[in-house]
């Protein structure tokens, strides 16, 4: 998730008089979860392994966290796995795609997250695909789940992830001639300081922040 965090108050550059500066909070594990996963997650993994012989190669990590199953998939294999999840495992609905930007993860700065729903089996699973900032291409799953059309446009608009094979990948929320992708971490929030009765409140992005 992120690197270890040091100190209590997130501040730096001033002398530590509190004694809390020595605290270290370890980042969440980024490893795979070992079997058994619990609940229906083992069935999902078994079924997928049976239906998809390249499971070992395509799925880099299986993570079970807070009662949710996440399959990390190589982006080149995404559409193949998506078809099998839809047709064999009956995940007939894809509830969209959400982007995440991790500027510190070299080679995997952009992440696309697909929550899937099986109404037949009342199950949920999440797919996660990462790609590099320098090559922001991920194959589109619109041919698998047509309802992802607008969701992929939104994620393109907000993060600049280019979904290859999308029928019409244009901006959807921002104006067509907009520069940049607002939800990326290097895109400023904007805003101005507000003065009221002599006191000034800085813009939200300039306020003191605590880690």
Partner 1 sequence: MTTQDKSKNNLFDPYASSRETTEGTVFSVTGGDWDSLVSEIGESKEERIIVNMGPQHPSTHGVLRLVLELEGETVTEVRTGIGYLHTGIEKNIEYRNWTQAVTFVTRMDYLAPIFNETAYCLAVEKLLGITNDIPERASVIRVLMMELNRISSHMVALGTGALELGAMGPMFFAFRDREIVLDTFEEITGLRMNMAYVRPGGVSQDLPAGMTVKIREVVKTLRKNFEDNAKLLIGNTIWMKRTEGIGYLDLAGCTTLGITGPVLRSAGLPWDLRKMQPYCGYENYEFDVITADTSDVYGRFLVRMAELEQSLRIIEQAVAKLDKLEGQPVMVADKKIAWPAQLALGADGLGNSLDHIREIMGSSMESLIHHFKLVTEGFRVPAGQVYATVESPRGELAAHVVSDGGTRPYRVHFREPSFNNLQSTSAMSEGGMVADIIGAVASIDPVMGGVDR
Q: Which of 122, 134, 177, 196 is the binder for partner 1 (CB under 8 A)? A: 122
DSSP state for residue 54 in the 8-state scheme: T
Question: CA 100, CA 126: separation in Å to the nearest integer?
Answer: 14
- Binding residue (CB under 8 A) for partner 1 from 13, 15, 19, 28: 28
User: Per rule CB under 8 A, is residue 109 in the interface with partner 1?
Assistant: no
Distance CA 153, CA 105 (A): 24
From first CA to last CA, the distance across the chain in angstroms is 14
Q: Is 24 in the site for partner 1 (CB under 8 A)?
A: no
**105 near partner 1 (CB under 8 A):** no
Q: Is 189 in the site for partner 1 (CB under 8 A)?
A: yes
Distance CA 163, CA 166 (A): 6
Least distance to partner 1, CB of residue 130, Å: 13
Phi, psi of 142 (to 5 degrees): -65, -30
With contact defined as beta carbons under 8 Å apart, do 111 and 133 qualify?
A: no
Among 23, 173, 193, 194, binds partner 1 (CB under 8 A): 173
Bridge-based pairing of strands 194-196 and 199-201 is antiparallel
The reply on whether position 92 binds partner 1 by CB under 8 A is yes
| Under rule CB under 8 A, residue 143 binds partner 1 | no
Q: Please identify which residue in 62, 98, 140, 169 interacts with partner 1, judged by CB under 8 A.
A: 98
Contact criterion met (CB below 8 Å) for 44 and 59: no
The nearest distance, CB 55 to partner 1, in angstroms, is 23
Question: Directed axis angle between helix 78-87 and helix 41-51, to 10°?
Answer: 110
Chain residues in the site for partner 1 (CB under 8 A):
1-2, 5, 9-10, 25, 27-28, 65-68, 70, 92-96, 98-101, 113, 115, 117, 119, 122, 124, 126, 145-151, 154, 158, 171-175, 182-183, 187, 189, 204-205, 207, 209-211
């Amino acid at each position: 998730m992120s690197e270890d965090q040091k100190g209590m108050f997130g501040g730096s550059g001033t002398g530590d008089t509190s004694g809390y500066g020595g605290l270290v909070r370890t980042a969440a594990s980024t490893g795979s979860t070992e079997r058994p996963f619990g609940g229906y997650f083992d069935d999902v993994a078994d079924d997928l392994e049976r239906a998809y012989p390249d499971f070992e190669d395509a799925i880099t990590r299986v993570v079970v966290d807070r009662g949710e199953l996440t399959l990390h998939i190589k982006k080149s294999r995404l559409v193949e796995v998506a078809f099998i999840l839809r047709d064999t495992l009956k995940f007939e609905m894809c509830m969209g795609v959400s982007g995440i930007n991790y500027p510190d993860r070299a080679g995997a700065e952009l992440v696309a997250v697909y929550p899937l729903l099986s109404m037949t089996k009342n199950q949920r699973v999440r797919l996660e695909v990462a790609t590099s900032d320098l090559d922001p291409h991920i194959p589109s799953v619109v041919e698998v789940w047509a309802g992802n059309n607008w969701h992929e446009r939104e994620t393109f608009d907000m993060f600049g992830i280019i979904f290859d094979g999308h029928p019409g990948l244009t901006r959807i929320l921002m104006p067509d001639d907009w520069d940049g992708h607002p939800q990326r971490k290097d895109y400023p929030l904007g805003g101005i300081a507000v003065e009221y009765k002599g006191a000034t409140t800085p813009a939200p992005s300039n306020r003191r922040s605590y880690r």
